[in-house]
């Protein structure tokens, strides 16, 4: 007899929605506010870079929460998960590769596409799908660790945090930019984000206690966030002064990012819990936040293409418009356009192949009855 699925945690919809909009902000700021050279834009990027780590923690949370009380049959688990990620990865890699190299002659294009697949290099954001597939592969071992975390959560957290700090310190200050060493493929190796997967997993295992603690300590978490912001900004400015490189100073993978991303993720969870408790209509089925969360994977896949089109057409605006106004306008347009296009794709049967989702909007259109929240699992 199958065990009932666990209830959907609406608070995480807010976390996902804020994170995906912040992803668009990262990439927009890089192009419109000269993130590679502007010190101010670099500082903003330094803070916005929590998105990568936030999605890893959210992935660890979602998967662990969905199976912790009902261990899956792993062959079925892999079949389901890879079907929803592998095909979008292959298709979008091919689409983005077509923006970089001519599709004719086809054999040369095919060779470039195949070469990009092991490292997610068809476009700069596809690494996330590659890491997700690696995480799916090792997830049975990860769940063994999570069962240890039932009894020894602090040992599991402490060990993974120590590993993360040592690895990222080595990466930032020893081999940064060299493409060598134990972390030669920085950013596309699943262990690069070990701490965040473990953080999300342990939170899921102990969610009743963790959520209660977060709700009781919202003010403390806010103070910690302000402190983390100051530490992050101070480290950024010191690194910029010492090296003269904005790119080095706002690197995604550096020790202070661990502190800032962790504290911010806990704060986002706290904000989600507050909204879920006091403003539940904001997270109701069909609300804007819920829809953005539901379409986040598709928005993630599509938005760089929309951004590339806008930047091609708006190149002259860099000299005619304040870069921050242009940035805000670009973020708004990219999120809106991506959201609408993914909504349209969600009404077709291409949806599972392109955005890893069933044609959920088709169901909404014909009003197929949906299970109650207590019957719905927290899907990724």
Query: What confidence tens digit (pLDDT) does each residue in 126-140 have?
Result: 999 999 999 999 999
Could you tell me if 135 and 190 are in contact, meaning their C-beta atoms sit under 8 angstroms apart? yes
User: Virtual CA dihedral for 29, 33, 34, 38, nearest 10 degrees?
Assistant: -110
Residue 378 reports pLDDT greater than 60: no
Residue 149 in any domain: the answer is yes
Give the three-class secondary structure for 71: coil
Could you tell me if 64 and 331 are in contact, meaning their C-beta atoms sit under 8 angstroms apart? no
Domain enclosing residue 133, as ranges: 11-368
Mean pLDDT of 286-292: 92
- What is the model's pTM? 0.89
Classify residue 329 by burial, with Cβ atoms within 10 Å: 0-12, 13-18, 19+.
middle
Which residue pairs from 259-262 have beta carbons closer than 8 angstroms and sit at least 24 positions apart in sequence? 259/228, 259/231, 259/232, 260/47, 260/50, 260/228, 260/229, 260/231, 260/232, 261/49, 261/50, 261/53, 261/54, 261/57, 261/196, 262/53, 262/57, 262/195, 262/196, 262/199
Residue 206 in any domain: the answer is yes
Could you tell me the two tokens for 42?
A: 């670099």
Residue 5 in any domain: the answer is no
Residue 368 reports pLDDT greater than 90: no
Residue 375 in any domain: the answer is no
- Structural domain count of the chain: 1
pLDDT band for position 239 (cuts 50, 70, 90): very high
Using alpha carbons, select from 193, 200, 217, 189 the residue that is nearest to residue 149.
200
User: CA angle, 270 as apex, 266 and 274 as ends, to 5°?
Assistant: 170
User: Virtual CA dihedral for 274, 297, 23, 248, nearest 10 degrees?
Assistant: 120
What pLDDT was estimated at residue 308? 87
Classify residue 16 by burial, with Cβ atoms within 10 Å: 0-12, 13-18, 19+.
buried
CA 137 to CA 325: how far, in whole Å? 43
Residue 246 reports pLDDT greater than 60: yes
Taken as a whole, the chain contains a residue count of 380
Going by C-beta distance under 8 Å and a sequence separation of 6 or more, which residues neighbour residue 274?
A: 215, 218
User: Virtual CA dihedral for 140, 294, 160, 252, nearest 10 degrees?
Assistant: 130
Q: Tell me 44's DSSP state.
A: H
Could you tell me if 247 and 36 are in contact, meaning their C-beta atoms sit under 8 angstroms apart? yes
Residue 271 reports pLDDT greater than 80: yes
What pLDDT was estimated at residue 369? 35
What pLDDT was estimated at residue 201? 97
Residue 2 in any domain: the answer is no
Residue 250 in any domain: the answer is yes
What pLDDT was estimated at residue 144? 94
What pLDDT was estimated at residue 172? 85
Classify residue 372 by burial, with Cβ atoms within 10 Å: 0-12, 13-18, 19+.
exposed
Looking at the chain, list the stretches that DSSP marks H as alpha helix, in order from N- to C-terminal side.
11-32, 39-48, 50-67, 74-100, 106-116, 127-151, 153-173, 194-205, 207-216, 218-243, 246-249, 255-278, 288-294, 296-313, 317-320, 323-345, 351-355, 360-365
User: Virtual CA dihedral for 243, 244, 245, 251, nearest 10 degrees?
Assistant: 50
Residue 45 reports pLDDT greater than 70: yes
pLDDT band for position 151 (cuts 50, 70, 90): very high
Q: Is the peptide bond before 342 cis (omega within 30 degrees of 0)?
A: no
Residue 168 in any domain: the answer is yes
What pLDDT was estimated at residue 373? 37
**Worst-scoring range by mean pLDDT, 171-180, 198-207, 209-218, 292-301?**
171-180
CA 379 to CA 29: how far, in whole Å? 30
Residue 308 in any domain: the answer is yes
Could you tell me if 297 and 285 are in contact, meaning their C-beta atoms sit under 8 angstroms apart? no
pLDDT band for position 258 (cuts 50, 70, 90): very high
Mean pLDDT of 200-209: 96
């Amino acid at each position: 007899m199958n065990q009932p699925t666990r209830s959907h945690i609406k608070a995480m919809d807010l976390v996902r929605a804020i994170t995906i909009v912040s992803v668009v902000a990262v990439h927009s700021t890089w192009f419109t506010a000269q993130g590679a050279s502007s010190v101010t834009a670099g500082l903003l990027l330094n803070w916005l870079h929590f998105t990568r780590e936030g999605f890893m923690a959210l992935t660890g949370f979602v998967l662990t929460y969905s199976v912790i009380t009902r261990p899956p049959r792993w062959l079925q688990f892999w079949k389901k998960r890879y079907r929803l990620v592998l095909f979008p990865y292959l298709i979008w890699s091919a689409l983005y590769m077509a923006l970089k190299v001519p599709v004719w002659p086809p054999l040369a294009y095919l060779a470039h596409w195949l070469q990009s697949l092991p490292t997610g290099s068809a476009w700069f954001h596809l690494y996330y799908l590659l890491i997700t597939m690696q995480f799916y592969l090792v997830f049975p071992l990860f769940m063994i660790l999570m069962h240890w975390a039932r009894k020894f959560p602090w040992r599991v957290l402490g060990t993974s945090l120590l590993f993360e700090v040592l690895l990222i310190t080595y990466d930032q200050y020893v081999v940064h930019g060299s493409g060598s060493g134990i972390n030669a493929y920085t950013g596309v190796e699943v262990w690069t984000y070990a701490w965040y997967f473990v953080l999300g997993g342990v939170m899921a295992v102990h969610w009743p206690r963790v959520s209660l603690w977060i709700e009781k300590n919202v003010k403390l978490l806010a103070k910690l966030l302000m402190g983390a912001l100051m530490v992050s900004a101070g480290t950024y400015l010191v690194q910029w002064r010492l090296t003269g490189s904005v790119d080095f100073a706002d690197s995604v993978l550096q020790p202070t990012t661990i502190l800032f991303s962790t504290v911010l993720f806990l704060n986002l969870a706290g904000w989600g819990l507050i909204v879920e408790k006091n403003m539940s209509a904001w997270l109701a089925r069909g609300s804007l936040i819920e829809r953005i969360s539901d379409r986040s994977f598709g928005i993630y896949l599509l938005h760089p293409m929309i951004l590339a089109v806008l930047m091609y057409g708006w190149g002259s605006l860099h000299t005619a418009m304040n870069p921050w106004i242009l940035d805000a306008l670009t973020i708004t347009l990219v999120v809106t356009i991506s959201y609408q296009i993914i909504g349209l794709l969600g009404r077709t049967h291409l949806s599972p192949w392109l955005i890893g989702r069933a044609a959920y909007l088709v169901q909404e259109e014909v009003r197929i009855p949906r299970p109650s929240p207590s019957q719905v699992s927290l899907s990724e």
